[in-house]
Amino acid sequence: MDKIVFHNTVPKIFSNERDLQSDVWLQDFSFEKGQYYLVEANSGTGKSSLCSYIYGYRDDYSGKILFDDTDIRKLKTKQWDNIRCTNISLLFQELCLFPELTALENVQLKNNLTHYKENNQIDEMFHMLGISNKKHSLVGKMSWGQQQRVALIRCLCQPFDFLILDEPISHLDDENASIAAVLLQREAWQQGAAIIATSIGKNLPLEYIKTFAL
Confidence of residue 117 (pLDDT cuts 50, 70, 90): very high
33-70 per-position pLDDT tens digit: 999 999 998 888 899 999 999 999 999 999 999 999 99
8-31 per-position pLDDT tens digit: 999 999 988 878 889 999 999 999
Confidence of residue 150 (pLDDT cuts 50, 70, 90): very high
The CATH number assigned to the domain holding 111 equals 3.40.50.300
- Count of domains forming the chain: 1
Are 138 and 170 in contact by the 8 Å Cβ rule? The answer is: no
Give SS3 for 158.
coil
Identify the CA nearest to 71 among candidates 63, 83, 51.
63
Identify the CA nearest to 73 among candidates 89, 56, 95.
56
pTM to 2 decimals? 0.95
What percent of the chain shows pLDDT beyond 70?
A: 100
Structural domain containing residue 74: 3-213
